[in-house]
């Protein structure tokens, strides 16, 4: 019997496809990513609570429920884990700054208020972010050049995010915007430190109201250099630093000949 007469022989018929089985390599990769993220979550908390010296690898493994060997597999060392934690922490922080400052619409003042609200939310909802960066600065920056380099890169990215937000909100390139961003970061760091040491001594409403005034003045004095020069020379009699000064008293005073 030839091939055409054989039962079930249909050369042109499409053969049923076999079900595709999950690739074991993909499953291992997914589990590895999950364990890495779990380690980073726990390490972020432990480093912020105990600092670098107090965060032992054994404790990190126990608290995360993941073998100590997995920590070394993913990060190489405790220093490598710390660098990864700092990078991820900074990415979330900088993304929060960018998202709050770069939303479309509204005038520059509204964008500034939204950006400040985002910064305040970072302090209130995720205080461990700045706390961790402060720990790194105080504990390791002088001893470990790689950690100092990581912190410098983080601050540079944060300044760049603030500069971009300022320029986008104003619609112009703000002169010396990097200096404004540096002041903002320094003040945020100070607010975060006070919140840790003596939270009852500070009102976030008042602190961020003052931060807003400072930013507005810094921006205005760069857009109008004459304003900055006027404040740089209070000895000219242009400004009287007295209690309960009314707004009208900030006008230049004329000296009697």
* Statement: the pTM of the whole predicted model exceeds 0.75: no
**Residue 43 to residue 128: CA distance in whole angstroms:** 11
Sorted by where each starts, the structural domains of the chain and their CATH numbers stand as 85-229 (1.10.357.10)
CA distances to 146, 184, 254 from 55, in Å? 19, 31, 64
Question: pLDDT tens digits, the chain, 257 residues: what are they?
Answer: 554 444 545 555 555 555 555 554 445 556 678 899 999 999 988 887 887 888 899 999 999 999 999 999 999 998 889 888 888 877 877 887 777 666 655 678 887 888 888 888 878 887 777 777 777 777 776 777 877 888 888 889 989 988 988 888 788 899 999 999 999 999 988 998 898 889 999 999 999 999 999 999 999 999 988 887 777 765 654 455 454 445 444 444 444 44
Residues in contact with 75: Cβ distance below 8 Å, sequence separation at least 6, in sequence order: 39, 81, 84
């Amino acid at each position: 019997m030839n091939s055409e007469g054989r039962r079930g022989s249909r050369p042109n018929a499409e053969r049923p496809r076999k079900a595709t089985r999950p690739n074991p390599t993909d499953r291992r990769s997914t589990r590895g990513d999950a364990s890495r993220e779990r380690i980073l979550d726990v390490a972020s908390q432990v480093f912020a609570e105990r600092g670098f010296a107090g965060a032992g690898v054994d404790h990190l493994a126990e608290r995360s429920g993941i073998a100590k060997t997995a920590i070394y597999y993913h990060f190489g060392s405790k220093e490598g884990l710390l660098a990864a934690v700092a990078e991820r922490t900074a990415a979330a922080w900088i993304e929060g700054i960018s998202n709050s400052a770069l939303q479309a619409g509204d005038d520059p003042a509204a964008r500034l208020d939204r950006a400040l609200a985002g910064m305040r939310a970072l302090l209130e909802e995720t205080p461990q972010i700045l706390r961790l960066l402060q720990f790194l600065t105080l504990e390791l920056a002088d001893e470990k050049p790689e950690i100092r380099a990581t912190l410098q890169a983080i601050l540079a990215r944060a300044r760049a995010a603030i500069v971009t937000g300022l320029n986008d909100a104003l619609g112009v390139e703000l002169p010396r915007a990097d200096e404004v961003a540096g002041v903002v970061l320094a003040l945020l760091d100070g607010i975060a430190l006070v919140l840790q040491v003596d939270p009852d001594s500070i009102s976030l409403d008042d602190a961020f109201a003052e931060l807003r005034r400072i930013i507005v003045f810094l921006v205005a004095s760069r857009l109008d250099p004459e304003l900055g020069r006027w404040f740089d020379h209070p000895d000219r009699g242009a400004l009287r630093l007295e209690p309960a000064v009314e707004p009208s008293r900030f006008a230049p005073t004329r000296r009697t000949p």
